[in-house]
């Protein structure tokens, strides 16, 4: 495996180029279109004009949870508890979110050194009555702390607790407090499955009006779920990509998606965001694992960081998905719930889509490595163009439609 120097993925991002708020309406954001070495500028509402009729957009319907909780200690001091992922006693995010009375969660703690022992508390209101949420440390982990939450109203599930007591976790680079408008602005219009701590931001530009326009060209959508973890903001501090520890994220793929992708193998497919692309590429490799070893089950099919580079490379996308679908039927299930840690970097060959809709990403990030896998070294030309033409960067910024350099 060739070494990838992170210094090659640095660029100067002026503070004034970082979007602190979205444009209104969302589909008025700028859209950079890149294909075959050429660049043009448009706006998102005109996206259908840049796609062939009968294309398929693959969207990530994960919903951002109000993962930041501000507790009060017995001494009167404050500390922040940031919910990262559900405890391992629950099979999936949805089950953990529906727990009533108490739940275990893996969290980061702001000011952990000052939290010596005992519970901390957070007062909130539900149906006009004051309620209390308590947090207690159960265990120190490499990834943070295992926290036991319990609350006074046994009729409330944890998803409702977060909605009532928590705050939307804006990316740290926005450098501002969460505002009321972020509750809707930092969600896609199709967000459904609770579990992300960061929005799949490429989808923030898509509105109901834009979906109506897409349908006039028979451009359809298919849905998957990847719950975005805080690791998406984890800077690459190593000198090379190969030394970076890629974060794992939970994915959910239903039988219907596999059938849709197999129905028209020549259909133009567009991943809406890096999260959709990571999921699609991951299920390809999971199918390859099944083709390589029929004894593998869906329970132990999760993908580690470098497996995609060591597995057989010659299976088609359709063959891998057929193997996965056959495994669904064999195990009599309708969905796959698992984890992926795949790192897509220079030299990786994209199998699942023809194009990607994506925002402009941070310097020295794993997301830029993924963009290189898509367009090669032209990523520098694309980003220079965007900066020179006053595109807005990062989560609330503008975006791009990038066609795969084959």
Per-residue pLDDT tens digits for 225-260: 999 987 766 678 889 989 998 888 999 999 999 999
- Written as one string, the DSSP assignment of 121-165 is EEEEEETTEEEEEEEEEEEEETTEEEEEEEES-TT-BHHHHHHHH
pLDDT at 117: 75
pLDDT at 226: 94
pLDDT at 319: 97
Q: Which parts of the chain have pLDDT scores under 50?
A: none
Say if pTM beats, i.e. exceeds, 0.75: yes
pLDDT at 3: 87
Return the beta strands (E) in 170-326 as ranges. 193-196, 220-227, 249-254, 269-272
pLDDT at 155: 94
Residue 271 three-state SS: strand
Per-residue pLDDT tens digits for 22-41: 999 999 999 999 999 999 99
pLDDT at 65: 95
Domains in the chain, CATH or no CATH each: 6-63+185-403 (3.40.1780.10), 67-166 (no CATH)
* Residue whose pair of structure tokens reads 């062939």 in the numeric block: 52
Q: Judge whether 133 and 83 are in contact, CB under 8 Å.
A: no
Going by C-alpha positions, the residue among 401, 394, 402 that lies closest to residue 362 is 394
Residue 30 three-state SS: strand
pLDDT at 233: 65
- Non-local (6+) Cβ contacts of 173 within 8 A are 18, 233, 362, 394
């Amino acid at each position: 495996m060739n070494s990838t120097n992170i210094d090659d993925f640095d660029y100067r991002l002026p503070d004034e180029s970082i979007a602190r708020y979205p444009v209104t309406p969302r589909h008025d954001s700028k859209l950079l279109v890149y294909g075959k070495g050429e660049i043009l500028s448009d706006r998102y509402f005109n996206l259908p004009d840049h796609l062939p009729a009968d294309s398929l957009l693959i969207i990530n319907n994960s919903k951002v949870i109000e993962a930041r909780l501000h507790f009060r200690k017995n001494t009167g001091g404050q500390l922040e508890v940031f919910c990262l992922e559900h405890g391992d006693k629950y099979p999936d995010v949805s089950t953990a979110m529906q727990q009533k009375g108490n739940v275990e969660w893996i969290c980061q703690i702001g000011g952990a050194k000052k939290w010596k022992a005992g519970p901390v508390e957070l007062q909130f209101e539900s149906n006009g009555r004051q309620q209390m949420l308590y947090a207690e440390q159960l265990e120190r982990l490499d990834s943070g702390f295992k926290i036991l939450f319990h609350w006074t109203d046994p009729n409330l599930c944890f998803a409702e607790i977060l909605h009532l007591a928590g705050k939307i976790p804006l990316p740290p680079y926005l450098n501002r407090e969460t505002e009321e408008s972020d509750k809707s602005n930092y969600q896609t219009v199709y967000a459904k499955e609770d579990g992300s701590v960061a929005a799949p931001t490429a989808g923030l530009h898509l509105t109901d009006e834009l979906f109506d326009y897409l349908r006039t060209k028979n451009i359809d959508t298919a849905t998957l779920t990847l719950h975005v973890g805080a690791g998406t903001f984890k800077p690459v501090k190593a000198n090379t990509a190969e030394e970076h520890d890629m974060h794992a994220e939970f994915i959910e793929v239903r039988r219907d998606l596999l059938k849709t992708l197999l129905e028209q193998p020549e259909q133009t497919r567009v991943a809406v965001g890096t999260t959709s692309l990571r999921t699609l590429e991951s299920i390809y490799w999971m199918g390859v694992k099944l083709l390589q070893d029929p004894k593998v089950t869906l329970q132990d099919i999760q993908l580690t960081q470098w497996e995609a580079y060591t597995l057989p490379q010659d299976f088609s996308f359709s063959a891998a998905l057929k193997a996965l679908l056959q495994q669904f039927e064999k195990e009599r299930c309708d969905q796959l719930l698992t984890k992926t840690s795949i790192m897509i970097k220079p030299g990786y060959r994209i199998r699942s889509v023809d194009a990607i809709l994506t925002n402009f990403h941070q310097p020295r990030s794993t997301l830029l490595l993924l963009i290189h896998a898509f367009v090669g070294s032209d990523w520098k030309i694309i980003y220079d163009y965007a900066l020179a033409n006053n595109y807005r960067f990062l989560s609330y910024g503008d975006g791009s439609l990038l066609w795969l350099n084959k």
